Structure 1
Amino acid sequence: MTSLSTLGWTLKDWQTAHQTPQGYAYLTELIEQINQATDCAWISRLSLTQLQTDWQALQERREQGEALPLFGVPFAVKDNIDVAGWITTAACPAFAYLAEKDASVVQHLKQAGALLIGKTNLDQFATGLVGTRSPYGAVPNSFNPEYISGGSSSGSASVTARGLVPFALGTDTAGSGRVPAGFNNIVGLKPTRGWFSIQGVVPACRSLDCVSVFALTTADALQVAQILGQKQDLEDAYSRQPPAATPTRMPERPKFAIPAQLEFFADPFAEEAFAKARAELSRLVDWVEIDFSPFTELAELLYQGPWVAERTHAIGELLQQAPEQIESTVRSIVTKGSDYSAIDCFAAEYRRQELARMIQHTLSQVDALVVPTSPRIRTQAEMQQEPVLYNSQFGTYTNFTNLADLSALALPAPFRADGLPAGITLIANAWHDFALADFGQRWQAHLALPLGATGQAFQPAAEDVSTLAPGAVRVAVVGAHLRGMPLNFQLTSRHAAFVEATQTAPEYRLYALANTTPPKPGLARVADKGASILVELWDIPLAHLGAFVAEIPEPLGIGNLLLQDGRNVKGFICEPLALESAKDITHFGGWRAYITDLKKSQEN
């Protein structure tokens, strides 16, 4: 499909195209080039007749003034996710049924104007990390067809990596939204469990399942995620909303954890590629090595513990009535769920909670954990020899994540010496999704790798500092809270994120207040003879704003501040009475310059 006009288009490219009369023609061209007979990444696709119907409905909605941020943007979903009027197979023809309504995530995307063009192949019943356990065919790696694509969300990763769609939905229980991302040079956003509804998703392990997002860029994955997680779904018993105190950005130079010992299962190319990734990360982050044994023990519980019984429960009727209709390796896994007693379940749950608490405590001391997305890759021929063992190896750095209630983001990383992709994954505690995506955008801009398997160049998006981090309040600081100043910790300890250094409107005067420890300035707006003063903007999670304001001593407070570009933000203000004994230092243009001059004077 190298002749496809839209190959490798991002959300922005599609949004731009749909501002012209050619938008529908691009969609038609895309649909015409999808051939299910030769491309096993697809299980079903949109017909040209249905495309015309869906397009006309979108046009009418836009003409009526609806806000459609994803107008006409094509996407695909893994075929264990319901779409009204489409067959859901879970890659098992004997299980297939006609879905009566959209899964909640599909409904959200349709409401945003996105256009579903097909459903994608998967490891049957989402059981596997390989992409080979499907009667519809083994989805090949998008760089070298002799190798696996990774699974279970193999088809969604493949069509994204090859640039057919800018994003696709997968699911992730043990790593299915991350391993195929790592094997195909794309982004895989595994959200905090419960942020995206799983209503209308064929369960694998219902208590652990997540809908995931594949995209060519982190920015696109984040935009889709914000649509999918916009509200709690009362039809999904596991649905939940982020607390108000969630971190929204990473620090300028974050602290990352890394396992003290890493396992690559005798794959020197994977080991070398991760070493390159670590060297590049060292230019952006600081490191701390951690004991990885609790993570490893928890990972082993997923398939060697009673959670397999959830998979047995999900397909129990078919397993009892027609077990021969289930793929052999999948059948061998799910039948083991009957081997566990209620006592086994509780014993495992107690140990899971103990390990999860240890892991969450470890991660609370860093901004993220970084690991190889998968310790190695295998050929399709190798998978036929050891389908269970090698699958288990792929989950070394993924299986524990949902059991410990963590967020994760799989990212492209420097390629292996043999030309295959080798991704990294950032992992953090629950509800750190926005912070991970913040760093993910920096990382992709830093490496500037081609998009997926398209060969298209990565185009870093222009930073839009006017965009407020979700769930945050933007505050301008002018003195002791600036970076490197003595009170900056009051911001960073509350997960506040630096946005930019800028200036006030030329309507302010700056003063050094008397008898303050540490020294503090006062900022006052004046009618005339004002000047622009240097400030820093920080986004503070809303839930932490009250505690931050409570620490501000008189005569200071928080009010409204006008910036030089016309924006209004919250910022430090000062009671006029305190300025009578203060020193006017406006001519320095900012507090940092004044402190530098003061130190020089004291040294002399």
Structure 2
Amino acid sequence: MPLSLDLQSLRHAYAEGDLTPVQVIGLVYERIERYADPAVWIYLAPQAESLAQAQAVMEKGAAEQPLYGIPLAIKDNLDWAGVPTTAGCPAFAYVPEVSATVVAKLIAAGAIPIGKTNLDQFATGLVGTRSPYGVCRNPFDPDYIPGGSSSGSAVAVSAGLVSFSLGTDTAGSGRVPAAFNQIVGLKPTRGYLSTQGLVPAVRSLDCVAIFALTCADAQAVLDVAAGFDPLDPFSQTPHWQDLPPRVRVGVPPLAQLDFAGNGVAAHNYDRALQRLADLGCTLVTMDLEPFLAVGALLYEGAWLAARTAAVGDFLRQPQAGVDPVVRQIILAGQGISGVKVFQDMHHLASLKRQTEAQWEQMDLLALPTTGTIYRVAEVMANPVALNRNLGRYTNFVNLLDLCALAVPSGLQPNGLPTGMTLMAPAGRDRGLCAWGHRYQESLGGTLGATGIAYGGIHP
């Protein structure tokens, strides 16, 4: 059986002396060469450099490094010292002198960065098709989109090329690709992971996301990466809050759900809810409408101007390699008035109060990650509307400062995966991971597209 790169399996192999980090990094590069999808990577570290890093990790020892010898991929809108950051746009590229805070923390903990991954340009999109570096192949079916904007980060984990990866999430970019690649995507509470060294999309909403094969792995990375950073004006000290032993899970009525005609995705969602009930959760009906109204503000309201503020000056100049859809979306915010900003801020406050009333009746919210998945050709023909459809269950999360965990929910007859997302109020990230772990243990299945059974990893 091929080696699984989940943390549990690698830690077991290291502890037993079966493998060393140098050997694992050699295996990783063999897999990358065999995988032969260059669109996953914007930058791949020379193998000799990664092997030298692995040797340095070994010399320091496992005791002081909680991520000892764990291979990592980094979305290319996060800085890695000495390596170009492109945000998916060659003309925008610069070479940072220091790594993003979260990248530096992971490397210090023994993780070994392998490369920087492809993305929807300027992290604008949920599709994975808006990059001059090409479209990453969905490892389950290359005719279908990999999801975005963190496309390469998700594919690298799903294909077994790295153990975990960093993405980012403003509107769902850390969750949609997880669903389409049958992996776990954790969108932490805003400010719990530093965004210093991140090319911004919407500064006040941006989160660094974690992609992993298991919920336990996602929590292990979270525990290392989280923490206050004085260099990030939106950073905060994590205040973890527990979930009750028996949780109430909010579920919207059928009339508020939209699967775009995908009956199998609807069926898998129902089965996932039943699995939660079998684990002891109480399913309660909730009203999704105020959440959806919040989501509409992200691309139809004042927050679009935040994207213009982030990179609008660059995009106003004639630049080669800029995706026309990305340019159109980002520059659409330049006409938003100050009056509109305050109107939408007040509207958000009103809607947030309505959602807070919902949380008095539930501890978790369980929704489909997306209603369906699209072919690459479909998205190319209708890029804005189909992208909007994919954000139905994701766009409101950051505006409401929820934490969210995308988990697999099963496979369709055509072999494509579907996903469910568990959400909770800020600070309950660890509780989400714990419930996600219980759910994933019950679900079983395979780890990403590796073909390795979840139950087949070492205890």
Shift of 1:51: 1.8
Query: What residue is the counterpart of 2:268 in the other structure?
Result: 273
Which of 241, 247, 257 is the aligned partner of 1:247? 241
> What amino acid maps onto 2:250 in structure 1?
A
8 A contact 2:9–2:457 mirrored in 1: no
> Are residues 46 and 32 of structure 1, via their aligned partners in 2, closer, same or farther at CA, if it must alter by over 3 Å?
farther
Q: Secondary structure at the residue paired with 2:325?
A: helix
CA distance in 2, matches of 1:258, 1:323: 46
Residues 502-521 of structure 1: pairs in structure 2 closer than 5 A: none
Shift of 1:419: 2.0
| Higher normalized contact order (CA 8 Å, seq sep 6+, divided by chain length) | 2
Residues 477-505 of structure 1: per-residue CA shift (max 9 Å, x gap): xxxxxxxxxxxxxxxxxxxxxxxxxxxxx
CA distance in 2, matches of 1:415, 1:48: 35
CA distance in 1, matches of 2:29, 2:112: 12
Are 2:375 and 1:379 aligned? yes
Q: Secondary structure at the residue paired with 1:410?
A: strand
Shift of 1:18: 3.2
Are 2:40 and 1:44 aligned? no
Question: RMSD of aligned C-alpha atoms?
Answer: 1.9
Query: What residue is the counterpart of 1:140 in the other structure?
Result: 137
Q: Secondary structure at the residue paired with 2:406?
A: strand
Residues 508-547 of structure 1: pairs in structure 2 closer than 5 A: none
Query: What residue is the counterpart of 1:456 in the other structure?
Result: 452
Which of 403, 411, 414 is the aligned partner of 2:410? 414
Which of 9, 23, 26 is the aligned partner of 1:25? 23
Query: Structure 1 regions of 5+ residues with no counterpart?
Result: 464-604
TM-score normalised by structure 1 residue count: 0.72
CA distance in 2, matches of 1:455, 1:34: 16
Q: Secondary structure at the residue paired with 1:409?
A: strand
Shift of 1:162: 1.0
> Are residues 186 and 250 of structure 1, via their aligned partners in 2, closer, same or farther at CA, if it must alter by over 3 Å?
farther
Residues 121-175 of structure 1: per-residue CA shift (max 9 Å, x gap): 0000000000000011111212111110100001000011111111111000000
Query: What residue is the counterpart of 1:81 in the other structure?
Result: 78
> What amino acid maps onto 1:274 in structure 2?
Y
Which of 392, 395, 398 is the aligned partner of 1:396? 392
8 A contact 1:264–1:271 mirrored in 2: yes
TM-score normalised by structure 2 residue count: 0.95
Q: Secondary structure at the residue paired with 2:178?
A: helix
> What amino acid maps onto 1:196 in structure 2?
L
> Are residues 97 and 142 of structure 1, via their aligned partners in 2, closer, same or farther at CA, if it must alter by over 3 Å?
same
> What amino acid maps onto 1:45 in structure 2?
L
8 A contact 1:263–1:375 mirrored in 2: yes
Query: Structure 2 regions of 5+ residues with no counterpart?
Result: none
**Percent same amino acid among aligned pairs?**
45
Count of residue pairs the alignment pairs up: 453
Residues 218-233 of structure 1: pairs in structure 2 closer than 5 A: 218-229=215-226, 231-233=227-229
> What amino acid maps onto 2:416 in structure 1?
L
Shift of 1:66: 6.0
Shift of 1:32: 4.0
Residues 174-573 of structure 1: pairs in structure 2 closer than 5 A: 174-229=171-226, 231-243=227-239, 246-251=240-245, 253-260=246-253, 261-284=256-279, 285-459=281-455
Residues 482-529 of structure 1: per-residue CA shift (max 9 Å, x gap): xxxxxxxxxxxxxxxxxxxxxxxxxxxxxxxxxxxxxxxxxxxxxxxx
8 A contact 1:78–1:171 mirrored in 2: yes
CA distance in 2, matches of 1:15, 1:184: 24
Shift of 1:394: 0.3
Residues 213-260 of structure 1: per-residue CA shift (max 9 Å, x gap): 00000000000001011x2100000001233xx433442x32110111
8 A contact 1:31–1:47 mirrored in 2: no
CA distance in 1, matches of 2:139, 2:390: 18
> What amino acid maps onto 1:388 in structure 2?
V
8 A contact 1:356–1:405 mirrored in 2: no
Query: What residue is the counterpart of 2:91 in the other structure?
Result: 94
> What amino acid maps onto 1:377 in structure 2?
I
Higher Cα Rg: structure 1 or 2? 1
8 A contact 1:148–1:378 mirrored in 2: yes
Which structure has more helix as a fraction of its residues? 2
